[in-house]
């Protein structure tokens, strides 16, 4: 056979490789016989960026050699990490090199249904053209407002704010608002006139007494928050934990108060009662900085510890004792707001009660209490004014924005009018996809949001997806909901991309830069690039006039006298803040953005809107006989449902178990390690999941770690491990003030006889090969 | 058997290889590079023009094998694109045949084998193109490298690349593809190429 007998295939010469100029090849006897070397023996470069494996946004140093990130460490000069990093941060590298990652744009095969999971590859140009064409058709038929955007993560700047505002839709939802922080932000806005923000402004280093209410520090882990909390304990600060579960924080506490679920507001009212009736509150502070103490005094008269005791199932003497101890340590005593505050549907009022106690302790804007966090100064990119301003709020945004209607010329969000706050509620945008009321949502772009593991009533979400004209998913992994999309766009991981600058409101406000440590793998693209290219195809060039992200970032950084070049070198740009009231008073500034300009113990705004101007207790509804209230929480090695395909983290925590009190387990003939189904009040079943019988939980509830129970067969590690708490949340109770979805209103029973899942060992999955 | 290419001597311990086998190896690698890269207009053209069929038939004759039927009656191009995604890109239950050398050698992506491959390619005068939207150790890239070297007459280098990065795992890989391929096309071609490479590609 001669060489000429073989034809040249055109597909074989597309060009994965380039020949170096002649003479560059090494003339070794056998160039492939050299001994391999370890990565750290070569040239290792360090890239400063910030982490994405939870949303604390720790500054990190990525060690790069041979075009690969090998290690990620905390960055000493960054206030979010101070040189330390949690397991999720250190394990993040495994996500970038996850073989299950989305690799190139995919388009659902014609003739298949959403959820069938049949796709073909597409070029970026084709995929974005399909999306643009679908969006423009929706705009033509229904108006631009009929496109919705759901977004979560650092890149939500592009898909939760920038692009939707340029496109002109108010229907933008972020789970970080109505499924997480909404109530605490709304309550803070209408109590203090300032939000809490993504970095909870607790002055841990100066506090002497801490009361955590359903706040799982140590499980819901945020790097420096945990560092500061631990240092406070080490320094001798007292800790009280109010929780139906003996959490990790409770295990460190001086006092654990195993409260009956759903009765926290009764306890808070009793504390207010003791502080006021025993005149233990800081009268000078209250006089100077608050309004409404007279009305509050009258309001809390009935709420004695003895009144609260049978409601909360707590000892009245213990209730009274904690109130007195709080007062004794004031103002260096604090009740920090938790992060996930959507519990029972009356959550804004509960958070108001938390803040009122803090105000009576005189700790807001005072050492040892809350410091006054300020965002850093930096200008936005000077694009033309958007047709609509971003309105979804955010974990670190002004979620409690005013409820007034602003005339924009566009229809208001479809959830407007269903609750008080002006922000959107992601779960409230879904019904309009099904009913078309008040008008139809016909298209959805989901960026980094796991629709099936964050939004309650999963079946409703699936029904809504089926009715859309266009459904686009942008993600890193083929998550459960992603494989329902018409077009799937694979995003580069945080180690491979730039994002917009992050502005952290803090005691010392700072700006963080995300920059790529390595080039994007496969045919993945950064969010900014996707948004920009799509923007151009949608005719929105005027808002995306920056040629590349470097230009965009450099322009913004120039507004503070810096540059991208400098930011790349230092990673974090720290500014000076005004953390205490005294700092404001020296400048004759008022920090309180409330209508009265003071801390509002009594909210006239709420009264005018038909809500209780001061917190009241609403008993939680009870579940069916024989069922348990479903509680849920976090593990320090996972973030929501985002990290369960990361084998490094899964080796540490590979599935969840249902916690139940041993007496309850025994009564049902269940033992540790047995497998059960969980079935909720509406007959929704999930699992199988192992039983964990433990006295660390009250008898009237069960507990699951959130984020497990993926039904995502494309994610080989995550799929089928544990049970999903979200799947069992077929109900929620809307907070009429914040729009938060109270999620702790679901009840489950344990159904014995479930088979032990036959799953591949994680160690085998970590070693992926054919 | 002819002696190895003097331009790229592998030394006294290196495999001895003939030009005719080298031609066959080059042709086989052409098919590997064509089949396992993302299906585009090139593959469509190769299928519709009959070029893929011609090269396969010629290889089969050379190796004394039955010619694969796939290139004679291939599935529609749209079907191939869907099957390609389910075999190599994204699929329920996990991608059954991820086409990466490093996954086999290191059991991880972008591990030490990729570093070594890159360095070896560089030593052989090859670089990964910046336009390549895949990983450097993708099967198609390695095959293209072998073919490119052989095409330029650098038989020893091509053979060494194949011996180090293709032969040690392709047989197992081809079986995995065949087991997972519902269309039959990729499975049949993989097994055919496995048989050809067994004949013409030496092991390191």
CA-based nearest residue in chain A for residue B96: A770
> Minimal Cα–Cα distance from B21 to chain A, Å?
9
- Among A493, A551, A550, residue whose Cα is nearest residue A522: A493
pLDDT in tens, A646-665: 999 999 999 999 999 999 99
> Does A382 score more than 80 pLDDT?
yes
Contact A31 B120 (CB under 8 A): yes
Residues 82-101 of A with CB under 8 A from B: 97-100
pLDDT of residue B3: 32
pLDDT of residue A768: 60
> Minimal Cα–Cα distance from B20 to chain A, Å?
6
pLDDT of residue B48: 92
Contact B11 A3 (CB under 8 A): no
Tell me the residue length of chain A: 770
**Average per-residue pLDDT for chain B:** 85
> Does A770 score more than 80 pLDDT?
no
Structure tokens at A290: 């608050």
pLDDT of residue B104: 82
Per DSSP, the three-state class of A332 is: coil
> Minimal Cα–Cα distance from B172 to chain A, Å?
7
- The three-point CA angle A446-A451-A452 to 5° equals 155
> Minimal Cα–Cα distance from B128 to chain A, Å?
4
pLDDT in tens, A115-168: 888 999 999 999 999 999 999 999 999 999 999 999 999 888 999 999 999 999
Residues 453-482 of A with CB under 8 A from B: 478
* Phi, psi angles (nearest 5°) of residue B60: -60, -45
Measured in whole angstroms, the distance separating CA B30 from the mean position of its chain's CA atoms is 7
* Gap between the Cα atoms of A237 and A239, Å rounded: 7
CA-based nearest residue in chain B for residue A3: B23
Per DSSP, the three-state class of A496 is: helix
CA-based nearest residue in chain A for residue B156: A30
Per DSSP, the three-state class of A355 is: helix
A35 in contact with B, Cβ within 8 Å? no
pLDDT in tens, A55-74: 899 999 999 998 899 999 99
Q: Largest Cα–Cα distance in chain B?
A: 49
**Average per-residue pLDDT for chain A:** 93
> Minimal Cα–Cα distance from B98 to chain A, Å?
7
Nearest to B23 among A3, A7, A119 (CB): A3
Nearest to A121 among B89, B96, B131 (CB): B89
User: B93: which chain A residues are within 8 Å (Cβ-Cβ)?
Assistant: 713-714, 716, 719
Residues 409-438 of A with CB under 8 A from B: none
pLDDT of residue A22: 54
Residues A491, A525 contacting (CB under 8 angstroms): yes
pTM of the model: 0.92
Per-residue pLDDT of chain B (204 residues; tens, 9 = 90+): 233 333 333 333 333 445 678 889 999 999 999 999 999 999 999 999 999 999 999 999 989 999 999 999 999 999 999 999 999 998 877 788 889 998 888 888 998 889 889 889 988 889 999 889 899 999 999 999 999 999 888 888 999 999 999 988 899 999 999 999 989 999 999 999 999 998 887 665
DSSP chain B: -PPPPTTS---TTSPP--HHHHHHHHHHHHHHHHHHSPP-HHHHHHHHHTHHHHHHHHHHHHHT-PPPSTTTSPPPHHHHHHHHIIIII--TTS-SS--BHHHHHTSSTT-HHHHHHHHHHHHTTEEE-TT--S-TTBHHHHHHHHHHHHHTT-HHHHHHHHHHHTHHHHHHHHHHHHHH-SSSHHHHHHHHHHHHHHHH----
* Gap between the Cα atoms of A649 and A638, Å rounded: 7
pLDDT in tens, A231-267: 999 999 999 999 999 999 999 999 999 999 999 999 9
Q: Is A277 exposed, middle or buried (0-12, 13-18, 19+ CB in 10 A)?
A: middle
pLDDT of residue A551: 98
- The three-point CA angle A717-A723-A729 to 5° equals 130
Q: Is A439 left (phi over 0), alpha (psi -120 to 50) or beta?
A: beta
User: What 8-state DSSP symbol labels residue A427?
Assistant: G
> Does A412 score more than 50 pLDDT?
yes
* Antiparallel, parallel or unpaired: β A290-291 and A255-257: unpaired
- Among A316, A293, A290, residue whose Cα is nearest residue A303: A316
Residues 42-81 of A with CB under 8 A from B: 42, 65-68
> Does A700 score more than 50 pLDDT?
yes
Find which of A2, A8, A14, A646 to mutate to test the B interface (most B CBs within 10 Å of its CB): A14
Contact B124 A25 (CB under 8 A): yes
> Does A44 score more than 90 pLDDT?
yes
pLDDT in tens, A447-482: 999 999 999 999 999 999 999 999 999 999 999 999
**Beta carbon pairs, A and B, within 8 Å:** 232
pLDDT of residue A765: 66
pLDDT in tens, A724-738: 999 999 999 999 999
> Minimal Cα–Cα distance from B34 to chain A, Å?
4
Tell me the residue length of chain B: 204
Find which of B125, B131, B137, B175 to mutate to test the A interface (most A CBs within 10 Å of its CB): B125
Mean pLDDT, range A400-417, rounded to an integer: 73
A385 in contact with B, Cβ within 8 Å? no
> Minimal Cα–Cα distance from B78 to chain A, Å?
8
User: B166: which chain A residues are within 8 Å (Cβ-Cβ)?
Assistant: none
Number of other residues whose CB lies within 10 A of the CB of residue A389: 12
pLDDT of residue A29: 45
**So what's the ipTM on this one?**
0.82
CA-based nearest residue in chain B for residue A525: B133
A763 in contact with B, Cβ within 8 Å? no
Mean pLDDT, range A90-102, rounded to an integer: 93
CA-based nearest residue in chain B for residue A25: B125
> Minimal Cα–Cα distance from A133 to chain B, Å?
22
Residues B141, A16 contacting (CB under 8 angstroms): yes
Beta bridge partners of A242: A213, A257
Contact A9 B92 (CB under 8 A): no
* Gap between the Cα atoms of A674 and A689, Å rounded: 8
pLDDT of residue A27: 47
CA-based nearest residue in chain B for residue A120: B82
* Gap between the Cα atoms of A678 and A682, Å rounded: 11
- The three-point CA angle A240-A242-A245 to 5° equals 120
User: B152: which chain A residues are within 8 Å (Cβ-Cβ)?
Assistant: 19
> Does A616 score more than 60 pLDDT?
yes
pLDDT of residue B21: 82
Contact B24 A1 (CB under 8 A): yes
Give the strand order in the sheet containing A333-334: A255-257, A238-242, A209-213, A333-334
Contact A766 B107 (CB under 8 A): yes
- Among A508, A480, A474, residue whose Cα is nearest residue A493: A474
> Does A1 score more than 60 pLDDT?
no
Contact B140 A2 (CB under 8 A): no
User: What 8-state DSSP symbol labels residue A676?
Assistant: E
Tell me what percent of the residues of chain A surpass a pLDDT of 70: 93
> Minimal Cα–Cα distance from A605 to chain B, Å?
52
pLDDT of residue A18: 77
* Gap between the Cα atoms of A485 and A480, Å rounded: 10
Contact B85 A119 (CB under 8 A): yes
Find which of A12, A41, A65, A98 to mutate to test the B interface (most B CBs within 10 Å of its CB): A12
- Residues in Cβ contact with A192 at an 8 Å cutoff, skipping those fewer than 6 apart: A355, A364, A592, A593, A594, A599
Nearest to A103 among B42, B89, B172 (CB): B89
pLDDT of residue A766: 63
């Amino acid at each position: 056979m001669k060489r000429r007998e073989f034809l040249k295939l055109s597909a074989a010469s597309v060009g994965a490789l380039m020949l170096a100029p002649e003479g560059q090849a090494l003339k070794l006897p056998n160039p492939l016989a050299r001994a391999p070397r370890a990565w750290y023996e070569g040239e290792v470069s360090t890239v400063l960026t910030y982490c994405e494996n939870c949303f604390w946004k720790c500054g990190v140093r990525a060690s790069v050699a041979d075009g690969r990130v090998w290690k990620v460490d905390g960055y000493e000069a960054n206030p979010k990490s101070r040189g330390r990093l949690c397991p999720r941060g250190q394990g993040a590298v495994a996500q970038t090199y996850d073989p299950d990652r989305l690799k190139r744009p995919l388009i659902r095969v014609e003739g298949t249904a959403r959820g069938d999971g049949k796709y073909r590859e597409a070029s970026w140009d084709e995929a974005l053209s399909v999306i643009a064409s679908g969006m423009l058709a929706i705009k033509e038929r229904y108006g631009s407002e009929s496109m919705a955007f759901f977004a979560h993560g650092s890149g939500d700047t592009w898909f939760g704010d920038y692009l939707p505002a340029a496109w002109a839709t108010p229907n933008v939802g972020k789970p970080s608002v109505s499924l997480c922080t909404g109530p605490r932000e709304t309550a803070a806005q209408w109590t203090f006139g300032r939000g809490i923000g993504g970095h909870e402004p607790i002055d841990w280093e100066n506090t002497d007494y801490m009361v955590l209410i359903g706040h799982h520090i140590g499980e819901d882990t945020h790097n420096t928050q945990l560092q500061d909390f631990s240092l406070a304990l080490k320094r001798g600060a007292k800790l009280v934990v109010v929780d139906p579960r003996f959490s990790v924080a409770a295990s460190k506490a001086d006092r654990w108060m195993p409260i009956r679920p759903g009765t926290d507001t009764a306890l808070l009212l009793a504390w207010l009662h003791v502080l006021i009736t025993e005149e233990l509150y800081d009268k000078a502070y209250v006089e100077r900085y608050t309004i409404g103490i007279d009305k509050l005094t009258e309001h809390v008269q009935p709420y004695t510890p003895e009144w609260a005791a049978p409601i909360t199932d707590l000892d009245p003497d213990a209730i009274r004792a904690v109130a007195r101890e709080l007062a004794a340590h004031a103002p260096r005593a604090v009740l920090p707001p938790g992060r996930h505050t959507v519990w029972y549907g009356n959550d804004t009022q509960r958070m108001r009660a938390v803040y009122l106690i803090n105000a009576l302790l005189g700790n807001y804007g005072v050492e040892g209490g809350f410091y006054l966090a300020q965002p850093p100064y930096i200008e936005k990119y000077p694009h033309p004014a958007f047709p609509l301003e971003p309105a979804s709020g955010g974990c670190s945004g002004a979620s409690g924005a005013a409820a007034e209607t602003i005339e924009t010329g566009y229809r208001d969000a479809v959830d407007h009018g269903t609750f008080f706050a002006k922000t959107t509620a992601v779960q409230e945008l879904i019904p309009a996809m099904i009913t078309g009321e008040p008008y139809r949502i016909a298209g959805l772009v989901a960026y980094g949001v796991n629709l099936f593991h964050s939004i309650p009533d999963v079946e409703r979400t699936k029904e809504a997806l089926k009715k859309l004209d266009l459904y686009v998913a942008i993600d890193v992994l083929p998550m459960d909901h992603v494989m329902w999309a018409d077009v799937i766009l694979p995003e580069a991981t945080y180690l491979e991309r730039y994002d917009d600058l992050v502005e952290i409101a803090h005691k010392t406000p700072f700006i963080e830069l995300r920059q790529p440590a390595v080039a994007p793998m496969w045919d993945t693209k950064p969010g900014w690039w996707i948004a920009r290219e799509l923007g151009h195809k949608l005719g929105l060039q005027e808002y995306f006039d920056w040629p590349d992200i470097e230009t965009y970032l450099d322009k913004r950084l120039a507004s503070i006298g810096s540059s991208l070049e400098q930011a790349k070198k230092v990673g974090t740009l720290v500014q000076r803040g005004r953390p205490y009231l005294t700092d404001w008073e020296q400048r004759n500034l008022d920090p309180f953005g409330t209508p009265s300009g003071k801390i509002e113990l009594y909210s006239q705004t709420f009264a005018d809107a038909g809500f209780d101007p001061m917190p009241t207790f609403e008993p939680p509804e009870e579940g069916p006989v024989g069922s348990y209230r479903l509680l849920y929480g976090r593990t320090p090695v996972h973030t929501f449902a985002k990290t369960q395909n990361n084998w490094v983290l899964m080796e540490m925590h590979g599935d969840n178990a249902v916690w139940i009190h041993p007496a309850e387990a025994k009564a049902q003939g269940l033992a540790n390690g047995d497998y059960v189904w969980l079935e909720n009040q509406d007959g929704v079943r999930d699992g199988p999941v192992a039983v964990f019988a433990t006295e660390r939980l009250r008898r009237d509830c069960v507990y699951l770690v959130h984020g497990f129970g993926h039904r995502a067969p494309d994610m080989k590690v995550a799929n089928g491990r544990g049970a999903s708490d979200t799947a069992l949340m077929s109900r929620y109770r809307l907070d009429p003030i914040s729009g938060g979805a109270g999620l702790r209103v679901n009840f489950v029973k344990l159904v014995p006889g479930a088979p032990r899942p036959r799953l591949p060992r994680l160690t085998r999955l970590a070693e992926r090969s054919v | 058997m002819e002696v190895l290419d003097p331009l790229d001597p592998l030394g006294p311990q290196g495999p001895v290889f003939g030009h005719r086998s080298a031609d066959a190896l080059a042709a086989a690698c052409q098919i590997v590079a064509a089949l396992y890269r993302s299906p585009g207009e090139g593959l469509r053209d190769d299928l519709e023009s009959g070029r893929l069929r011609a090269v396969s038939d010629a290889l089969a004759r050379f190796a004394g094998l039955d010619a694969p039927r796939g290139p004679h009656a291939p599935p529609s191009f749209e079907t191939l694109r869907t099957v390609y995604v389910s075999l190599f890109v994204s699929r329920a239950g996990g991608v059954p045949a991820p086409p990466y050398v490093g996954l086999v050698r290191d059991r991880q992506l972008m591990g030490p084998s990729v570093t070594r491959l890159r360095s070896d390619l560089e030593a052989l005068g090859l670089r990964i193109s910046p336009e390549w939207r895949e990983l450097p150790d993708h099967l198609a890239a390695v095959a293209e490298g072998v073919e490119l070297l052989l095409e330029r007459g650098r038989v020893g280098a091509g053979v060494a690349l194949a011996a180090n990065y293709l032969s040690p795992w392709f047989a197992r890989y081809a079986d995995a593809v065949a087991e997972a391929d519902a269309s039959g096309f990729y499975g049949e071609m993989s097994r055919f190429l496995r048989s050809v490479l067994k004949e013409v590609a030496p092991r390191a």
